[in-house]
Structure 1
Amino acid sequence: MRRRILLLAPALLAPAAAAAGQAAPRWTPSRPVRAIVPFAPGGATDVVARVLSETVGTILGQPLVIENRPGGAAGLIGSEAVAKAAPDGHTILIHSNAHVIAPALVSRMPFDVLADFASVAHLGRIPQVLVVNPRLPITDMQSLLAWLRANAGRVNFASAGIGSANHLASEVFRAAARAEVQMVHYRGGGPAMQAVIAGEAHMCVDPVASAVGHIRGGTVRAIAVAGETRSAVLPDVPSASEAGLPAWSAAAWLAAFAPARTPPAAIATLNAAFNEAMQRLEPRLTELAVERRPELATPEALTEFVRQDAARSQRVLREAGVQPE
């Protein structure tokens, strides 16, 4: 009898195994995947999206097409386009932590930043760096703080737009330095940086990923990297703590999102493609100061991280006196 049961076991397990296989069908895109970046070209979000796009497209078997859709507080226009797109896996959003800042700035949001999006993949953490126009009489944090006091209310501080990660980091700097500046908002990190280079603005905060080329080229002067530690990409630039302003701590993160109700199989395929691309391109991403966070590799971990960061970021802006309009 025992022998008969053992012989029957594989036959009994086969239907269950087949059912398990059917429960998790593999999804593949049937056409190019559109990745909306809600900022102008040239900023860190756009730079990282374009570095990843070709490899992700190769893994998916369909091109990943980057579409810049700037405008609105915290990239609201591009985000809304994705929130309202068909949840079929063929439209995603590549955004920064500005995604979760929007509710602190806009009183009537056209979507819910948590409920209307599905987490796809964490695309890295990027330290922020403070830069100034090199023609200013500023060489370090102490001379910057003295210059800010001497020119209170007359300093143009460029940001990547209301609610951008750069804006959040700039507000944290303004509070830490107790500086009276005019915050000037542009349509992305690229235009903000160009304003500083041209002398239209005096200073800005930018992710190291997009600022490093300008710093090395001498078109802007780096003063400090936010936080306690230096960036390996900019080893000669002191951290804010080393420079004498330890209260200035900020970093940007990037992630991919899909419209809510996108099938789990599509999310899984996209997640795997981005994670594999991040691994293949790690040397290039490291050059851009993009730090991988393996503990956030799953959509579930990213969802919880985003929820917590939304609460923290919105609190920082409220404490800085920023009110939704």
Structure 2
Amino acid sequence: MQTRREALSLALTAGLAPSVVRAQSTQAWRPTRPIRMIVPFAPGGSNDIVGRIIAESASQALGQTVVIENRAGAGSVIGSEHVARSAPDGYTVLINSSHSTVPAIVARMPYNAVDDFVGVAVAGFSPYVLVVNPQLPARTAQELLALLKAAPGRYNIATAGTGSGVHVGAELYRSVAGVEAELVHYRGGGPSVAALVAGEAQIGAPTMASSIGQVRGGALRALAVLAEQRSPALPDVPSAPEAGLPGLIHEEFFPILAPAGTPAPVVAALGAAFRGAIQQNVAKLNELAGVAPRAGFETSAQVITLVREGVERYTAILRAAGVQPE
């Protein structure tokens, strides 16, 4: 005969079963060696900055060091392919804000940007910024437009590499503004911003994360934030509509991904650790990188859906601009 205590125990177990299963699934896997976070760009770019901000807190949550490893090349393709081909064991993850733009520009992709990955977390969102070298005689977006119209092909625009979000921003600017300017591809956001500061390139649409320090310090002049509204990180810089470029809206997001086939408990553990790290560093992400986390990306499916929708959106933007994959 079932005792009252046994009955109560069974009832509690039944009521708590879903949450217990969830808790066990997130705690069942613990790494036993360091985890590599692949940044598919050179040091100093937005992904490198954001990755380093959250890596320490994620390391504390997981009990193992999250090591940043830069694998630059081919507009992030080299580093992303490395992750896609890595063992799906939780010890290799990717952070790549260009992940959804690359398929729109690279004709022969060595991996599938959606099917070869699973979502872990989203570190946040950030607009791109239209900037110029301060030596360029243009203090507003309209003055830059007049300068480029008067001398087609004379000036160049720096990008972070073919297929990067910065490349998309440059193509979008050329299309929306209707100007001719030569694209110069660098090996990541850091090198492209360095080229702008040095005067090797005159114009750029870098990520806020990779350029915010140079803008605040006066090494670059920001003409517009490529968003509908001004950014709290650069409150004195006009939005694209305010600058007379209402069609120039371009924002990056930072998905953290693991290889397809990574077991669900491992993905859950990684997701919990990285989401916690992101929330712990909200102020730092905004101050140092102009990146703001958003709710709605708590599951692996939500993250990969964002990636899929990004691929579709960027492809539509570039095709409308007349850009075909190469």
SS at 1:235 equivalent: coil
1:90 CA drift (Å) = 0.4
SS at 2:58 equivalent: helix
1:38 aligns with 2:40: yes
SS at 2:126 equivalent: strand
Farther-moved stretch of structure 1 (75-84 vs 162-171): 162-171
Rounded to whole Å, the distance in 2 between the matches of 1:70 and 1:18 is 45
Q: Map 1:149-188 onto structure 2 (within 5 A).
A: 149-188=149-188
Name 2:208's counterpart in structure 1.
208
SS at 1:254 equivalent: strand
SS at 2:157 equivalent: strand
Rounded to whole Å, the distance in 1 between the matches of 2:104 and 2:207 is 21
1:280 CA drift (Å) = 1.1
Check conservation: 2:71, 2:79, Cα contact below 8 A: yes
Paired amino acid for 2:114: L
1:105 CA drift (Å) = 2.1
Check conservation: 2:101, 2:163, Cα contact below 8 A: yes
Rounded to whole Å, the distance in 2 between the matches of 1:132 and 1:53 is 32
Name 1:9's counterpart in structure 2.
7
Q: Deviations over 1:177-203 (max 9, x none)?
A: 001110111100111111111111111
1:8 CA drift (Å) = 5.0
SS at 2:99 equivalent: helix
Q: Which ranges in structure 1 are unaligned for 5 or more consecutive residues? A: none
Rounded to whole Å, the distance in 1 between the matches of 2:7 and 2:21 is 18
Check conservation: 2:104, 2:311, Cα contact below 8 A: no
Q: Deviations over 1:230-285 (max 9, x none)?
A: 11111111111011111110011101100000011111111111111111111111
Paired amino acid for 2:7: A
Query: % of aligned pairs identical?
Result: 47
1:115 aligns with 2:115: yes
Name 1:248's counterpart in structure 2.
248
Rounded to whole Å, the distance in 2 between the matches of 1:257 and 1:295 is 16
SS at 1:240 equivalent: coil
Rounded to whole Å, the distance in 2 between the matches of 1:35 and 1:78 is 10
Q: Map 1:296-311 onto structure 2 (within 5 A).
A: 296-311=297-312
Name 2:30's counterpart in structure 1.
28
1:104 CA drift (Å) = 2.0
Name 2:267's counterpart in structure 1.
267
Name 1:105's counterpart in structure 2.
105
SS at 2:32 equivalent: coil
Identify which of 54, 70, 88 aligns with 1:68. Answer: 70
| Number of residue pairs matched by the alignment | 321
1:82 aligns with 2:88: no
Rounded to whole Å, the distance in 2 between the matches of 1:101 and 1:128 is 14
Query: In structure 2, do the counterparts of structure 1 residues 18 and 174 end up closer, same or farther at CA, with 3 Å as the change threshold?
Result: closer
Name 1:93's counterpart in structure 2.
94
In the superposition, the TM-score normalised over structure 1's length comes to: 0.93
1:154 CA drift (Å) = 1.5
Paired amino acid for 1:50: R
SS at 1:227 equivalent: coil
In the superposition, the TM-score normalised over structure 2's length comes to: 0.93
> Which stretches of structure 1, 4 residues or more, deviate above 6 A after TM superposition?
13-20
SS at 1:206 equivalent: coil
Rounded to whole Å, the distance in 1 between the matches of 2:265 and 2:30 is 9
Rounded to whole Å, the distance in 1 between the matches of 2:94 and 2:48 is 11
1:131 aligns with 2:126: no
Rounded to whole Å, the distance in 2 between the matches of 1:11 and 1:320 is 64
1:12 CA drift (Å) = 5.6
1:219 CA drift (Å) = 1.0
Rounded to whole Å, the distance in 2 between the matches of 1:146 and 1:69 is 39
Q: Map 1:218-237 onto structure 2 (within 5 A).
A: 218-237=218-237
Q: Map 1:184-203 onto structure 2 (within 5 A).
A: 184-203=184-203
Q: Deviations over 1:80-109 (max 9, x none)?
A: 00000000000001110x212222222222
Q: Deviations over 1:291-314 (max 9, x none)?
A: 111112322211222111111111
SS at 1:243 equivalent: coil
1:227 CA drift (Å) = 2.1
Rounded to whole Å, the distance in 2 between the matches of 1:174 and 1:193 is 19
SS at 1:180 equivalent: coil
